[in-house]
Amino acid sequence: MKTLTVALGDRSYPIHIGQGLLGQADLLRPHIRGRQVLVVSNETVAPLYLDRVLGMLTGLDVSTVILPDGEQYKNLDTLNTIYTALLEKRLNRGCTLIALGGGVVGDITGFAAASYQRGVAFLQVPTTLLAQVDSSVGGKTGVNHALGKNMIGAFHQPGCVLIDTNTLDTLDDRQLAAGLAEVIKYGLIHDAEFFRWLEQNMAALMARDKAALAYAIERSCSIKAEIVAADERESGRRALLNLGHTFGHAIETGTGYGNWLHGEAVGAGMVMAADLSARHGWINRADVERATALIRSAGLPVAPPPEMSKQQFLDLMAVDKKAVDGGLRLVLLKAIGIAIVTADYRAELLGETLDAAA
């Protein structure tokens, strides 16, 4: 087992990563406040792993909520079912919520915890690769609105992240690929050496080699922990974690939540960001090709859906959370391993990228 720390002063928390951790109550129990616990999962994950989580909570006053499965349920209606369960079971301010599932369950449970009685404790038990390398770490919580992805939410850090890498055994290949998009993101924005390692080890990752997956998860969590510790509220550097996401969120919203997976949209979005960076002369075409080849080799799309128009992209991108005073900011590449957040890109070159892709 490896343990990393997200260093946030008295709100610091561990990320435990290893095989078979779902049975290890001693890793979870110290982070449970009070006696009342609500485990939130969904109809797919609960039959697979809920019993193992409940087995770690013996002697506590434990309730469960099982949500419908899918990005299309990451909304205020579903959130309300969690509030209703919390109130019906009379959970008080000293309770702890546990999110058992992928990024959808993690984001929505985190937001329920951030807002219930103005904030209660929560723990993350992520079961998708995407959630293990990204969404369970860093405290971004929230739900979607019909007009924009993740537009309603809060920063609220978990008390602990427990990653049992064995849960990936039941994840299908499409979901594994979606998680690899965020893994590739870390190489592109922060770590050229990790990017090279991914080029050499993508086949092993796709074949679910345990050692390769463990290294990719550890390296990803370590980069994310470092960035979150430096800029928890995204006043600067944390925005780099959104490489490809402005394009990607437009794809997710434009195609209807749940049709393109988040990781798939980010894959195509990172190719668009690399293309735009090359049009500014910041990276060369060979770098764009390397990024595109790696994303393709992970089984991810490298272009947006043909039905999306340039105007639809521009309209949807305008509601991005990185927009300040009406001006859109984008994460672009200066090299493989170095990214910037900038409003200083040329609008006509963005138009060219959208024309080429859409």
User: Which position among 31, 156, 185, 224 bears the catalytic label?
Assistant: 224
CA dist 96 → 86, 92, 110 (Å): 10, 9, 11
User: Which position among 74, 156, 219, 245 bears the catalytic label?
Assistant: 245
Interatomic CA distance for residues 81 and 67, integer angstroms: 8
Which tokens sit at 242?
Answer: 């959104």
Binding segment for ligand GLY among 234-242, 257-265, 280-288, 347-355 (CB under 6 A)? Answer: 234-242
Compute the least distance from the CB of residue 192 to ligand GLY, in Å.
20
Selection from 345, 302, 301, 304 nearest residue 322 by Cα: 345
Which tokens sit at 20?
Answer: 């078979």
Residue 15 sits in the site that holds ligand NAD (CB under 6 A): no
265 secondary structure, DSSP code: H
Interatomic CA distance for residues 41 and 143, integer angstroms: 15
Residue 69 sits in the site that holds ligand NAD (CB under 6 A): yes
Residue nearest to ligand GLY (CB): 241
Residue 269 sits in the site that holds ligand GLY (CB under 6 A): no
Residue 225 sits in the site that holds ligand GLY (CB under 6 A): no
Interatomic CA distance for residues 126 and 41, integer angstroms: 10
- 74, 140, 149, 262: residue in contact with ligand GLY (rule CB under 6 A): 140
What is the chain's alpha carbon radius of gyration, rounded to the nearest angstrom? 20
Interatomic CA distance for residues 59 and 259, integer angstroms: 41
Compute the least distance from the CB of residue 105 to ligand NAD, in Å.
6
Cβ partners under 8 Å of residue 274, min gap 6: 188, 283, 287, 288, 291, 292, 333
User: Which position among 31, 74, 190, 249 bears the catalytic label?
Assistant: 249
Residue 134 sits in the site that holds ligand GLY (CB under 6 A): yes
Nearer to ligand GLY, 62 or 266 (CB): 266
User: Which position among 31, 42, 71, 140 bears the catalytic label?
Assistant: 140
Beta strand pairing call for 121-126 and 140-145:
unpaired
User: Which position among 242, 264, 290, 321 bears the catalytic label?
Assistant: 242
Residue 134 sits in the site that holds ligand NAD (CB under 6 A): yes
Nearer to ligand GLY, 66 or 134 (CB): 134
Contact 255/305 with Cβ under 8 angstroms? yes
Identify what 238 binds: ligand NAD, ligand GLY, none; CB under 5 to 8 Å per kind: ligand GLY
Interatomic CA distance for residues 144 and 148, integer angstroms: 6
Binding site for ligand GLY (CB under 6 A): 134, 138, 140, 238, 241-242
Binding site for ligand NAD (CB under 6 A): 42, 44-45, 48, 69, 71, 74, 101-105, 107, 127-128, 130-131, 134-135, 138, 140, 150, 167, 170-171, 175, 178, 262-263
